[in-house]
Chains A and B, each alone.
Chain A
Amino acid sequence: GQNIDQPTEMTATEGAIVQINCTYQTSGFNGLFWYQQHAGEAPTFLSYNVLDGLEEKGRFSSFLSRSKGYSYLLLKELQMKDSASYLCAANNFNKFYFGSGTKLNVKP
């Protein structure tokens, strides 16, 4: 079976740093993906991790620990436009299993 957990909602202040955690248990695993989804829109790809460690892409970084079944997405220098849901997805041989998403509210 597949089990992917994320916090339901988080609030952070503009300009701050926020970390969104994701834990997963899957029958097979090839990588961990992060997607951003604004209300009423489609999910869009942010980053992925295959190996343990940190991947940095501008203001966004993602970390993976395969042994712990754990990942996080780090957003720096938060902007109002970062208010969205963030979905983690475990990839199992081209199948993506998504968590329920973390709704991030960025306040001024």
Chain B
Amino acid sequence: DAGVIQSPRHEVTEMGQEVTLRCKPISGHDYLFWYRQTMMRGLELLIYFNNNVPIDDSGMPEDRFSAKMPNASFSTLKIQPSEPRDSAVYFCASSLAGVNTEAFFGQGTRLTVV
């Protein structure tokens, strides 16, 4: 398997624009996570899915953020409208079911909102 695949790797956009980040988890994994990493706040869990169903979105900072998982092999994180403070690296990760199985991370999307 190629691992968790994210696109794009880099995104630069203007404030107010819509941004969509994409993720393909490892085939057969039951869980998918979206994280945001900044110097100030570290790695924050935004939302996670189990078998394509959102389980906990309490980490989503505002209504401007939304995430979907229409099928087992694809998820999106959308920011609309984007703001400069959304600039960060966004990671997608996936894992198998089981209490102690590790999460595998994608290479991340570095988002810059100007």
Residues of A within 8 A of B (CB): 30-31, 33, 41-45, 48, 50, 87, 91, 93-101
Bound complex: CA A42 to CA B37 (Å)? 10
**Complex contact A95–B48 (CB within 8 A):** yes
- Contact A42:B91 (CB < 8 A) given known A94-B31, A97-B45, A101-B43: yes
- Residues on A with C-beta less than 8 A from B45 are 95-98
Chain B, interface size category, equals 20 to 34
B42: CB under 8 A from chain A?
Answer: yes
- Residues on A with C-beta less than 8 A from B105 are 42-44
**Complex contact A98–B99 (CB within 8 A):** no
Report 30 cross-chain contacts, Cβ distance below 8 Å, ordered by A residue: A31-B100, A42-B91, A42-B105, A42-B107, A43-B43, A43-B91, A43-B105, A48-B100, A87-B43, A91-B99, A91-B100, A93-B99, A94-B31, A94-B95, A94-B97, A94-B98, A94-B99, A94-B101, A95-B33, A95-B45, A95-B56, A96-B33, A96-B93, A96-B103, A97-B45, A98-B35, A98-B42, A98-B45, A99-B42, A100-B41
